[in-house]
């Protein structure tokens, strides 16, 4: 009977330890929606951003945020005309579009510091000419930065075609 009691005590302790590990793993997960609960993106929580789930039907340009899980914006550099609308579309989790610099007359605030997940979109119509530099707050050190040039900021032709950009 002592062997049976020892075995039960051993199994009971293992079950408790396993439950503790599972609880700890749940607390430290990235909140990507795979661990239960409703942790999905909620664009309505961003009161000042022009966030939408519409799929960008009105966007003139699209910047993909974290394509295929990579730590980049695609394209990283974009030239647009004044009045063009750009949609930022999340393809992976835990990213921001945080404004580093923008023309002083601009009203663009990006998405702020709160991270968003796959499926989230943020659109903005760029009216003020100049250069807008932005980054992903958690991944800036990994080089996740981008830039939008509105209008003819460098004195060039103002072509926003993208094509054979030397960058």
Catalytic site residue from 61, 95, 122, 124: 95
22 labelled ligand-binding: no
Q: 122 among the known binding-site residues? A: no
Cα gap 73→91, rounded to integer Å: 10
Q: Does 144 count as an annotated binding residue?
A: yes
Residue 124 is among the residues annotated as catalytic for this protein: no
Q: What is the DSSP string of 109-130?
A: -TTTTS-B-TT-EEEEEE-S-E
The verdict on whether residue 61 carries a ligand-binding annotation is: no
**Exposed / middle / buried, residue 161 (Cβ in 10 Å: 0-12, 13-18, 19+):** exposed
User: In whole angstroms, what is the distance from residue 97 CA to residue 107 CA?
Assistant: 14
CB–CB of 66/92 below 8 Å? Answer: yes
Question: Quick check: is 139 catalytic?
Answer: yes
Element (H, E) at 138: none
Q: Find the farthest-apart pair of alpha carbons in the chain and give their distance in angstroms, rounded.
A: 89
Instruction: Look up residue 31 and give its DSSP letter.
Output: -
The Cα–Cα gap between 131 and 133 comes to: 6
| Annotation: binding site for Cu cation | 95, 136, 139, 144
Which sequence positions are flagged as catalytic?
95, 136, 139, 144
């Amino acid at each position: 009977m002592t062997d049976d009691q020892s075995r039960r005590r051993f199994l009971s302790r293992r079950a408790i330890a396993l439950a503790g590990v599972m609880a700890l793993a749940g607390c430290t997960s990235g909140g990507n929606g795979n661990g239960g609960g409703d942790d999905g993106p909620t664009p309505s929580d961003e009161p000042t951003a022009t966030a939408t789930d519409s799929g960008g039907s009105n966007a003139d340009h699209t910047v993909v945020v974290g394509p295929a899980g990579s730590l980049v914006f695609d394209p990283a550099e974009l030239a647009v005309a004044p009045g063009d609308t750009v949609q930022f579309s999340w393809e992976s989790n835990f990213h921001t579009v945080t404004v580093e610099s923008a023309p002083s007359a601009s009203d663009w605030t990006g998405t702020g510091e709160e991270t968003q997940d796959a499926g989230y979109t943020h659109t903005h119509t760029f009216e003020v000419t100049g250069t807008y530099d932005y980054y992903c707050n958690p991944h800036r050190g990994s080089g996740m930065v981008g830039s939008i040039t509105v209008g003819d900021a460098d004195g060039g032709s103002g072509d926003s075609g993208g094509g054979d950009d030397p960058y």
